[in-house]
Every structure is written in structure tokens, then in C-alpha cells.
Chains A and B, each alone.
Chain A
């Protein structure tokens, strides 16, 4: 277990380094931020001073080295736009994104898995087929368009739910959250539903396939031969077997939720890191983009590691170490 952790963490550091180089080199070539930041009628002297202040006159390798040294100390540079530490900007907005992503994931798990199991058990009925049609639709509908339709329907036409923002937040352990106020929940519903749609469809498909596969297995027949009720066979025997792959895949997909939050946050003006990075790409706010990418990649690595560990806890047959 320890050896596994050490190996995984050192691999992760390597990945992060590679990513930092790729991101830095890539972002280095985005247009010139100076043109956006200073007035068009600035004198050449003013221009040169701005370049020097931002450190853009140094060679690329030096810039990377400075960037890396600072990054290790938690300094990813100041935003050109907000003139605040980029890392701080991202971290400030992280709770909003996490709240959205976690809510969406919970929706996917608690709606998708039961529906998928139902579709697997009753695969030959109207209900089973309707669930599968819904999941095909959920897979096909582009997230952003569904978000727009939600706004048209629930905000503009029906006026039931607000179309943007986080609503009233309260502090939970020093972090502002929406889900503890009624107003906040109202603001959370639409974006979370929007973000959850794709993963719900995925959960439906995975659990349906899992149920159908497991119902063919000998252990189910043996459980029937023991005289167990269908409820117990499905609810415990089959459920536990399908939960392992479903939870693993969904866990891996959690990173995808964070990435896709970019779209949902843009549509619903949700003040998370995704919206910040889209705005920053628009104005070429280099440090913020780099900080966002590095933070996201770090989160991905942590999530994948956690999923591996959870997987080994859930599945008695897997021992960490021989795995991978």
C-alpha cells in the first residue's frame, strides 16, 4: 500500500511537471497580453515599462524557471487583469465549482443508478425502453443547449427558478456555500441538473449493462436456488457487484464534471473557476489560465488516486500493489 502510494505520487509529480512545461510553452505563445492591458495610445516608454514589470522581456526559459520556482512556493503569479495572485483567484472560486460538481455527481448517482438498474431488470418493457431512450437523449444533447433550454423553460417562461448566480450563500467551515439557504438551493438546481445530465445517462447505461451481465451469472442462479427473494438478490448481490465498476467509472468522470463546469458556469453565470478561466482566455490573462490548468490537473491526479484506493476497498479481490 505504501509502496503503491509512493509510486503513484512520484508519477503524479512527473505528470504535473510535464503539464507545467506544456501549458507554459503553449500559453507563452498566445498573443501579446500587453496590447490588451495598456491603453492603445500608450507611449513606447510606457509600453516598455509594462513589459518589464510583467517580466515579459526575459527569455522564455528564464520565465519558466521563475514560474516553476514561484509555483513550488505557491505563487503562480499575479493576474494581469485583477492584479491579484492567480492562485488566490482560482482558489476563491473553487468552492463554487466544487459545490456544483458534487451536487451534479450526487444527482447522477442517485438518479442514474436506480434508473439504470430498473432498465436492466425490466429491459423488455416500456419502462425499460423509455429509460434507455432518455439516456440516449442525455448522451446526445449538448450540455450548453440543454442549459439554454432550462433557462427558457424554467426561468423565462415559467419563472420558477433563477437563471444565474449563486444566490444567498452562507459560510460552512469558512467556505461560502449555496446549498444551505433556500435561495441558494433554487439557484443551484438548474445548473446542477444541467451538469448532471450527461453523467446521469452514463450511470444509467453502466448500471443497466451491469445488471444485465450480472443477472446471467451463476451466482445469481445459486442465490435463487438458496431461496433468496428477488429484492435481496438485486438489492444486495447484484447491486454490490455493479457498484464497483459504476462507482469507479463515475469517480474517474468527476474530473470531467469539473472540466464541463466551464460550460455550465458560463451559461448560468455561476461564479466558479470555469467561468473565470473562460473570461481569462478571452483577455489572455496568462497567469490565471496557467493556474487554472495546474490546479485542475492536480485535482484530476488526486481524484484518480482516490478512485483507485476506493476501488480496492470496494472490491475484495483487488490488492493495491499488484494492481497497475
Chain B
């Protein structure tokens, strides 16, 4: 009776559930990718994000000017409108120049590099640390577990910006310090996500089966449970990268984050802020647009990933 398929109750919407029809067997990755690209907005988001990452990586090779090479900038070119040219008409400042005469486009490309770098690096470190702590806590259980989770809950009950503010007030400025703060702000999310997943996964049959096979618990955790949490971790960390980039920009804007020598997009915006009221809007505006596009495209990708990966999680 292999040709008779199981039928679900057709009441309400259950009929549209997957599995009513035999779906052609495709790998999960191909299926997920196909599903991802069904949304045009998400596809555009992914393309823009890819372009931005490439541009950020190649900044030193493609930007018209090295904005931190004092030799290449001329104070005479300061506060030029977008589209202006240098005195000798050799270069065009597509997005204008800042108060020092730096080409805004070049500054933005370098700033993008720093913003993206800080965001991704801090998220990855937080992801690793948070996952290890989360796994370790649920592995040990008992008091250590409940203590760690108390700390996690306590920290998460405070807004990220407040925690970061305290940390940076204590630590001072610097790229290492801001990464450290962003890691401390983020790790708790991953620890909690991992732990709640482990609690669910643990009860599932395959873990029972692995236990019956006599596999050591560590092996079960890292070899079996962790891979099953991966889709959710991917979704969380995508969204958190955007959050980290925005937070770093905000802190830098408040004068708490990056040092002036390593201007991220946030710091570029802050630098232009004081000239804005006098009408030199572009010094602040374009870095802001770059930041905005970066964050929106990451969020679009993250949103779609959540939709695509979540049904798999539920199964």
C-alpha cells in the first residue's frame, strides 16, 4: 500500500501543510535556497549585502583616495559639495568632502570596512563564547547551570545600550574595547538560545538513541545537539550582526566607541553632525545612508532566513 499517502485532517488549514504530497527529494540546502529566493526583497537584500561586503573588503584598492594618508588630502578641498572637483580638476568628489578635505566616498568605504569588521567579529566571538557557555551550563546542570542562567537573565533584563555604556565608561575608547563591550552585550543571547534548544533537543529520540549507544555526553552535545541548534543560531546571529553594527555606530556617535583614528560609519556621522545645521548635510548624510543600507540589507536577509529555516526547526 505504498502508493497511499497518509492524510492529515483537512479541516482548517492543515491541508496546506507540507508532506501531503510526496515532494521530490532534494537536499535541504537546495530546497532552502530555492525557498529563500522566492522572496524578491530578500534576494535583493542578499545581493546588496554581498556587494557591500566585497566593497568593504576591497576598500584600500577601490577607493579614490586614502582618507588617512595626510599627504593625499588638501585642506583647501574642505566641505566641498557632492560632485565637486579638486582645484586642478584632476579628481571628482562624488559625495563631497568633509571639514578636513577628505573625500567622503573614500571615508565611507573605509568606515564600512571598520563597521562591518567590528560587527561581524564581535558577533562571531560572542556566538562562540555564548554557545560554549550555554552548552557547558546545560551539560553540567544543577547549580552552575541555574547560576549562569540567572546571570544571563539579569543581563538581558537591561538594554544593550546601557550595558555597553557602562562598559565603555569604564574601559575607555578603542577598537578592542568596543569589540569587548559588544561581545559582553551579546553573549547572553546565544547562551540562552543554546540552552533552551538543548533542553528541547535532549528529550528527542535521537539523543535517547545516542545515549543507548553509549556515546559520551560531550560527544552527544557537540556532535548531535549543537548541529540541530545551528539554524536558529544562524538566524539570531544574522540579526545580531545588524544590531551590533547599529550599537557600535550609536556608541561612536556618542563619543564612546571608536577612536578618531579609526572612524567607523557612526563616527563619520558624528563628525559631520556639527556642520549639519550650517547646511553641509552630506558630511553626515551619506555615511548614514551607507549605514542604513548595510543594516537594512542584513535585516532583510535575517528575516528571510528565519522564515526559511524555522519550519525546519519545528519538524
Contact = CB atoms under 8 A, between A and B. Distances in A.
Interface of A: 15, 23, 26-27, 29-31, 136-137, 139-145, 148-149, 151-152, 156, 163, 216, 252, 255-256, 259-260, 262-263, 266, 277-278, 281-282, 289, 293, 296-297, 300, 304
B300 A136 contact: yes
Contact of A300 (B158, B168, B169, B291): B158
* Interface range on chain B (Cβ under 8 Å from partner): 35 or more
B169 A152 contact: no
A260 B13 contact: no
Interface string B7-32: 00000110000000000000000000
Given A216-B13, A293-B166, A141 B303 contact: no
B295 A140 contact: yes
A281 B269 CA distance: 20
Interface in B262-279: 266, 269, 273, 276-277, 279
B71 interface: no
Contacts of A156: 276-277, 279, 281
A142 B161 contact: no
Given A144-B249, A262-B165, A262-B254, A30 B170 contact: yes
A143 B253 CA distance: 11
B162 A259 contact: yes
Contacts of A148: 269, 273, 276, 284, 288
Given A140-B242, A142-B249, A262-B165, 20 more contacts: A23-B166, A27-B170, A30-B169, A31-B172, A136-B296, A141-B292, A142-B246, A142-B266, A142-B292, A144-B269, A148-B276, A152-B276, A216-B13, A259-B162, A259-B165, A260-B159, A266-B254, A281-B169, A293-B166, A296-B162
24 contacts: A15-B154, A136-B296, A137-B296, A140-B246, A140-B296, A141-B292, A141-B295, A142-B295, A144-B266, A145-B269, A145-B292, A148-B284, A149-B288, A156-B276, A252-B157, A255-B157, A255-B159, A259-B165, A263-B250, A263-B253, A266-B254, A281-B165, A289-B169, A300-B158
Contacts of A289: 169
A323 B41 CA distance: 42
A142 B170 contact: no
B7 to A, nearest CB: 21
Query: Shortest 9 CB-CB distances between A and B: which pairs?
Result: A26-B170, A256-B159, A259-B162, A259-B159, A145-B288, A140-B296, A140-B295, A142-B246, A281-B169
Nearest to B163: A259
Nearest to A256: B159
A216 B291 CA distance: 38
B255 interface: yes
Contacts of B296: 136-137, 140
Nearest to A18: B154
Contacts of A30: 169-170, 172
Nearest to A29: B170
B250 A140 contact: no
Interface string B273-315: 1001101010011001001100110011001000000000000
Interface string B214-246: 000000000000000000000000000010001
A281 B172 CA distance: 10
Contacts of A29: 170
